[in-house]
Homo-oligomer: A and B are copies of this chain.
Amino acid sequence: MTRPTMEDVARRAGVSRALVSLVMRGSPKVSEQRRAAVLRAAEDLGYSPHAMARSLASRTSTVLGVMVSDLHNAFFAEIVDGLDAVARAEGFELIINTGGRSAARERRALDSLLSFRPAGLALLGPVVPSAAIAGAANQAPVVLVARSSRLSTVDTVNDDGEMGSGLAVDHLISLGHKRITHFDGGEGSQSAPRRKGYLLAMQRHGLPADVVRSEYTDTAGAKAVRHLIDRGGELPTALVTANDFNAVGAISALEEAGLRVPADVSVVGYDNTSLAALRHVSLTTIDQPRNEIGRLAAEALLQRVRAQRAEPKRHLLNPSLVIRSTTAKPPPPPN
């Protein structure tokens, strides 16, 4: 089980350890003849360099630490996918752990990642206090995804939630809706800008805003609908929901209450998850370019790693409206 080292390769090829090192790193200043000899010896022995020893000696790292608040969430999984793609293309490796939406656990996860002295750190939807992030940013370049920050040492990649909700509202209004309610994402990340976008858009059109506190789950969406019905008064003709899950829960509850979507009530989701695209659901929603987010995060990190940039970068990606079958003109007013 004990693998061959550079020493072994050097001995077999009849050269010094340093020469083997040069060959392994693809240095141009090695004669073809020696290079071939070294490569052969390595091949024979099944040698491959020890990444950690290399990292230690060179005082550099090819590891990017990734902390995912929740891998369960397909949204983050796709971002990791994007990160992985560019990281690997650039010769970096991802080391991942999850924070489980608990600040304490995230702290530990962060420490654990830092103990590998990674070249950079990507935090996906972290909930740790800003101070912890600042601390981490002192040790390695940090990029934040789905969380904003004013720290000048960290980069951020976000979708413009304010704009996204605005798109949803504009779409509904252009269909003729006037009573539009927002189900918000509660404490969830990005909940605030989405709410703000809704409020601003309603105000812009001179319509009364109505926000119901909710969460990023389908049960919460259903609950919000029942709340709407229970509180009495006129029902809205359209819903701008916290995310796709919330939307789907809302749709179910609406249908259970005898209301048709979109004939009676239009519903817009957020995220454009694979769920929304299912023909059975066919949800009008706001798309965030997830893979793109991952790529940009990785690129931002690599730029810092290579010291190509010191000023913070704030990516704010434009979401887009995806119109499917859950929005339509409002029903004619009952008279």
Contact = CB atoms under 8 A, between A and B. Distances in A.
A111 B97 CA distance: 21
A189 interface: no
Nearest to A219: B279
A49 B115 contact: yes
A212 B279 CA distance: 20
Chain A interface main SS type: helix
A48 interface: yes
A300 to B, nearest CB: 18
A3 B117 CA distance: 9
Contacts of A248: 278-280
A279 B55 contact: no
Nearest to A98: B84
Interface string A108-144: 0101111111000000000000000000001100000
Contact of A84 (B48, B97, B278): B97
Interface of A: 1, 3, 48-53, 55-56, 63, 71-72, 74, 77-78, 80-81, 84-85, 88, 93-98, 109, 111-117, 138-139, 218-219, 222, 245, 248-249, 251-253, 255, 275, 278-281
Closest 10 CB pairs of A and B: A51-B115, A77-B77, A252-B279, A252-B280, A52-B52, A95-B95, A71-B81, A51-B116, A96-B96, A248-B280
